[in-house]
Structure 1
């Protein structure tokens, strides 16, 4: 009862300008929303001549297909990075590293606390650094940590202090995840699409995210039993793939309007001549 509709939905989908401005005033806590209303109105005008977006248009329109692929790949990067295996099975990972059950449980608790704290840090970083930059920093950090984790799990019996390194590495893995891949995919899917395509694109992204989550969740323990510490090599390879994709295909959306972002994906023949 306390949540208003999205101002963009009210304006672009329903066409109620005054109501959209009223809700925007409430959300921002100020009457000075002229610039934002101007941007929303520009999107509204550009959408008037556009037909509704369906699944067919998503896969046949180049200006929609490319951002959809990016959105889907970022959701896969989030889940196939191995973060939920670390979250779901952290206690088992610590025990396999040679820690006692009690120590493993405390380590899992510490990991959860760090995940919460990094959520607040991410809120600050997201508006100071670019989306693409944070995604690359997070994925690269996870890759570095997962390689070290594989090594230290393989040599866990060589010294009594080595298992405790796994605690530090798992917490570092969570920190790297929260820096970028934990939140950036959700920002991108809303910033890459205009109002007519955004709901469908978001729905597809969510479905991909949770489908990947399901398969990673049921597949990790059997793979860990089969491969041992080398199971994390799979995530290392996937992280390399996602880093390369991000470098080459993901645009920076920070401080760009929806018109500027959409223009990045339009075929050259559709761009206005100078």
Structure 2
């Protein structure tokens, strides 16, 4: 069946599935370390301490921070599709490098390279999907990437449990866990060969006939022409400005958008979500489970994440972004508070592991059902076309930097101050996150990307006018 014969909806679905394999790799490569660490840490393997354990985990996150920052700018220059295609090769190379790493130093280097790919995918895939989707489906389409991320994490937890239980006595079982990520890397590479470039990016580079052709493949002809005219006008307006750079964010209304993007990204991480996604097995061990039982129990975290994201994708088309994020943050903070309290009150109790598991599941239900989908969607949609790659890249850079700090510090905190105090710290951070969203985050639902840009400009102009009137009085 040719592209012309294929229905617009079906082709758009193929594009979405192909691109979101980047999200699947993001999920698998961040989740697999959860089960691999206990085996990797053994004396006859990499002999990890709490510090080197944090370093192995967080080296990927530091690489992801740089990848998000650099790849966002490269995507603006060379195109979203081409960069995702190149990242698939880096995913494959780094996956094999971590699999065969003979020592901690080599592992850290290849985990860093893997992070570059993860960070690049985390900034480019949502932006690419936002630009391909019709505005009424943008929320659900972009959040499909979140579903693939948690789906990748669930696959990692399942394979970790299967290999960890059946091959626990086998040397280098963690290497088998790591090598499996090479498979989706190959699928991403092959599938992206058949995906077109973003029509918004093509228009911005003067390739208007190609842009219109792509739109006609994913919209009916009347709508394709209408959207092309809207995009063309937005690009012409942007072309009057200089090339995108960090200096652009010195403009007050753009600086406000950037600070909102960074704030939403940081709030996502200070919930402590990745302390559970990366160290869930260790948290369950700390509460009283054995290694094998913790690996199996950790699958529950992956299952609830997938279910919650599916619910979140449905919900995001029904309700506004801002209240959805506030409700999610209230739920995650409450769950963490209960973990901290019960870990202190029931320390050493046989029932504690099951309470902690239940509360981590509750935490992830709110996190993946509300907080995660809104975070990635807002970052993908608030920036104007000319600055979308750079703006989302900067925002996600901060997301990964905070992720890096938490990923490195968590095992050290866990070993030094214990489970209860560690989670009390996340409760305090969660309260700060709720305050930020309530005070600063605007509503973005129900507008096209171009309408959002006009809204932010108009809002700034209105505020400037009011300030001028106030000063004149």
What's the counterpart of residue 283 of structure 2? 93
- Distance across 2 between alignment mates of 1:197 and 1:190: 11
Query: Is the 1:139–1:181 contact (alpha carbons within 8 Å) kept by the matching residues of 2?
Result: yes
Quickly say closer, same or farther: Cα 1:255–1:100, change in 2 above 3 A. same
How many residues matched? 268
Match of 1:185 in 2: 375
Residue 198 of structure 2 corresponds to residue 3 of structure 1: no
Distance 2:327 2:459 in 1: 23
Instruction: Name the structure with the higher helix share.
Output: 2
Per-residue deviation at 1:234?
Answer: 1.3
Note closer, same or farther for the CA distance 1:133–1:25 as it changes in structure 2 (3 Å cut): farther
Compare relative contact order (CA 8 Å, sep 6+) and give the higher one, 1 or 2.
1
Question: Is 1:167 matched up with 2:357?
Answer: yes
Question: Match for residue 143 of structure 1?
Answer: 333
Query: Which of 319, 323, 334 is the equivalent residue of 1:133?
Result: 323
Inter-partner Cα distance in structure 1 for 2:381 and 2:365: 24
Go from structure 1 to structure 2 and tell me whether the alpha carbon gap of 1:80 and 1:269 turns closer, same or farther (over 3 Å shift): closer
| TM-superposed deviation, 1:6 | 1.1
How far off its partner does 1:35 sit? 4.9
TM-score of the superposition, structure 2-length normalised? 0.53
Shift of 1:155: 2.0
- Residues 143 and 102 (structure 1 numbering): CA distance in 2 closer, same or farther, change over 3 Å? same
Equivalent residue runs for 1:73-84 within 5 Å? 73-84=263-274
* 1:180 Cα deviation from its structure 2 partner: 2.6
Q: Would the alpha carbon gap of residues 142 and 129 (structure 1) be closer, same or farther in structure 2, given more than 3 Å must change?
A: same
TM-score (structure 1 length as normaliser): 0.89
Gapped regions of structure 2 (runs ≥ 5): 1-192, 467-473
- Please tell me whether the aligned partners of residues 310 and 369 of structure 2 are also in contact (alpha carbons under 8 angstroms): no
Q: Report deviation, 1:220.
A: 0.5
C-alpha distance in 2 between matches for 1:27 and 1:209: 32
* Paired position in structure 2 for 1:254: 445
- The Cα shift of 1:195 comes to 1.0
Secondary structure of residue in 2 paired with 1:179: helix
1:47 paired with 2:238, answer yes
- The aligned residue for residue 200 of structure 1 is 390
User: 1:156 Cα deviation (Å)?
Assistant: 2.4
Runs (4+) of structure 1 exceeding 4 A deviation are none
How far does residue 56 in structure 1 lie from its aligned partner after superposition?
Answer: 1.7
What does residue 62 of structure 1 align with? 252
**Post-superposition offset of 1:194:** 0.9
